[in-house]
Structure 1
Amino acid sequence: MADILYESHGHVRLIIINRAERMNSLNFEANDELVGAFESFNDDDDAYVAVVTGAGEKAFCAGADLKTYTVNFARSPAPDFRRKYTNGPGFAGITRNMDIFKPVVAAVNGFAISGGFELALAADLRFCSPNAEFALQDAKWGFHACDGGLIRLPQIVGLGHAMEIILSGERLNAEHAYRIGLVNRIVPAESLLEETMRYAQMLASRSPLSHRFAKEVMKRAIGMPMDEALRLESRSFYDFGMTEDLVEGTTSFRERRPANFKGK
């Protein structure tokens, strides 16, 4: 049975971590499969939106399968490890060294711990079930997050909330996560994936090029001086003005009909 399932639903791609018996933690092989799934999504012009979730009801992703990671790390020469897992794509594929400017939505169905939390942070939107729990527990075990948690979490929830989560290593529940803006919606567990897929299909009906241009600007503008960021936004809008999607969008508005975007 494949560790990672990759399904096509129109313009939406559903990516499922299929290791429920291991709380959807990732060993080296599963991590490589997940990297490949995100690369396939990124390279597919017919794929507009991705949804990532975990199999079962207990866990979205409990991070790295540390038993196999420690064994493989001991067997792997340091230069090979650095080349593949430090200089290469980060944990779960999208946490580092993989720029995807298409929307990615996480359906967090239970525990999102350490690397699993960082995978959720690397998504653009997070929907979760009421039983979801989030934690960066690294400080309990003598290290700190290293796949975007220290960088993305403060951007999403603010420095104060991020400090509390990272320094304590304690878990926070779905209500706490929603209150501080970590998750966008809390959805009943039995309908989480259905509601997330419905939302993704709605996103896929919008202009895919608009999404890509806008997401790239928002990501690249982080940390820029305001005048430089505004120039980036203006340049992006100018470039987008040359696309067929803009013509289709404005034409459909005048003709009072739904737009039929082609991503061109």
Structure 2
Amino acid sequence: MLGRRAAVLVVCAVLGPAGCASGQTGGGATASPASPTSATAAAQDYGCLTPDQVPGAYQLKLSDQPTTADAFAAGHGRVGVVLAHMAGESVCEWAPWVSKFAAEGYLATTFTAVGPTDANVGDAITELKRRGATRVLLVGGSKGGTAVLVAASRPQALPVAAVVSLSGPAQYQGMDAGAAVPRLTMPVLFMADADDSPFDDDAKSLAAEAKRAQVHWLKLYPGASHASAVLGNPAALADFTAFVAKYAPPTVG
């Protein structure tokens, strides 16, 4: 499984320097809310946000926890995007992609998970509704992939337009994507690298169970990249981009 630094380097290669963060380790999930002081503002970069991204740092309210979660949002639009990170990662894993989605006309957010990640996904959806989104695309890598599949199977504050799971295991820490996937009706994309065992087999089995989904694409690629790093493969990036453009375009209100 790739670490955050490797994943960020891959994203940097895709997005270029303007869309990428510094690659340092992210902050904790219980950081204090921002204050007007420059010292606190610096702390709100979570160790990875660029100066242009820092104004988008915020604390995500959690419905099942007594604390908040470090989060980052950017963009404006009627279509929201929630991006959920892999185990051992933070808001930093998907921060460059939040900016990329924002530049393409989406309202996007990511967070550092606190407690059950699927519940955090639901809280992020609620936050995007508060900010004006009317539907949402869910994207997650590894445990985040499991989380978005589970969250999409439950009633949420906004309709889920589509779901992308990158290297998502069938089960993880009480989250059961195997039980959730047969209930999904929206388009779903399962992505994994063919040598990233057992996640390639999980992608195959989950895709086979998504029989009620309007579309259930299964895409496997050479290599052993994991979670967001899968998108470093140009073929994977092209498939991801095509799926999002077709099933969750930013122009949809």
Instruction: Report the TM-score, using the length of structure 2 for normalisation.
Output: 0.34
* Higher relative strand content: 2
